[in-house]
Amino acid sequence: MYEVLAEVVRNGFPESLHYGSVAGLAPDGSLAHIRGNPEETVLPRSTTKPFQAAACLAAGAPLAGERLAIAAGSHTGEDFHVKTVEAILGDAGLDAAALRCPPTWPEDEPTKEALIRAGERESRERMNCSGKHAAMLAACAANGWPAETYLDPGHPLQRLVRRTMADCSGEEPSPVAVDGCGAPLFGLTLTGLARAAQSLVRAQDGPRRAVADAMRAHPEHVGGTGHVNTELMRALPGSVAKGGAEGVLVAATAHGHAVAVKVIDGSPRATTAIALSALAALGADIDPAAELGTVPVLGGGRRVGEIRTVPEGSQ
């Protein structure tokens, strides 16, 4: 059974509800916060990018700093993101034509408007998954693997991604689906996803530690200007946060608290607030990120309500 995790309140009237599940781990790894059914398998969508980046790094892709952060991120398509993606591809002897993610407009609205005014079109490098795809191509170049089929689930890189996710989560990923960007997508339980997130902040060395350090040092490459993942990591130094489509999000603190969230209606608008509430229930200090704990509801351009979390047992 799913639980009510958040409610939308407009002028004091409860307008909508968000149901879902949460798995929360204490720093010792125990499952200490449960909402709904955290043992149900979900498709983790872009929350898997840090683990895909770790697999690329383990395969020998020359990624560090901003390049590793964008490999683990869902960027907003700003110019500095595109330059980083192009740099990864260039060092691999490739260009944007090698990317197999679909062409899109950038998610950053000012950038999109500027491109339209300039007569530009949608492009693959502006797609929010292009950093991950560039990293995958870099791993192929480092190993002499075929670049044309890097999205095939049987490709050596994708087999490594699946093994990496199994190692991080402590469970065998299943089922195998196709993500929105075309990459293989491996299912996990929310508890397994929370364990994977915790493995990033608990790693002392190796690819996982490198990915976590890059995300923390360059949060603007994990998201972008004003992106909630970026702002959450800035507000809670040492933390990692990564959202995904269809209402999925993972977050882990520097002290090892970790949560995985799935909102069953697929909306991401309350996931950060839900994650922060779960981290607080685990004993984490989330005060520096307090303003992210609710989302304004507007009427006529002014705030008339909020999206807020619903405490356990209140429904």
| pTM of the shown model | 0.96
Q: Residues 234-275: pLDDT tens digits?
A: 999 999 999 999 999 999 999 999 999 999 999 999 999 999
Q: What are phi and psi of 51, to 5 degrees?
A: -80, -35
Cα 222 from Cα 233, distance rounded (Å): 10
Cα 161 from Cα 79, distance rounded (Å): 28
- Residue 313 burial (C-beta neighbours within 10 Å; 0-12, 13-18, 19+): exposed
Other CB atoms within 10 A of residue 287 CB:
10
Q: Are 164 and 51 in contact (CB under 8 A)?
A: yes
Does the pLDDT of residue 315 top 70, yes or no? no
| Residue 173 structure tokens | 């990923």
Q: Which helix (H) or strand (E) segment is 42 a member of?
A: strand 41-42
Q: What is the CA radius of gyration of the chain?
A: 19
Query: Tell me, what's the pLDDT at 312?
Result: 83
Cα 20 from Cα 274, distance rounded (Å): 10
Cα 153 from Cα 150, distance rounded (Å): 8
Q: Provide the sign of the torsion angle of the four alpha carbons 66, 67, 69, 73, taken in this order.
A: positive
Q: How confident is the model at residue 73 (pLDDT cuts 50, 70, 90)?
A: very high
Q: What proportion of the chain, given as a percentage, has pLDDT over 90?
A: 98
Q: Which of 176, 215, 182 is nearest to 51 (CA)?
A: 215
Q: How confident is the model at residue 314 (pLDDT cuts 50, 70, 90)?
A: low
For residues 169-196, average pLDDT: 98
Strands 3-10 and 13-25, bridge-based pairing: antiparallel
Cα 77 from Cα 81, distance rounded (Å): 6
3-state secondary structure of 189: strand
Q: Are 188 and 262 in contact (CB under 8 A)?
A: no
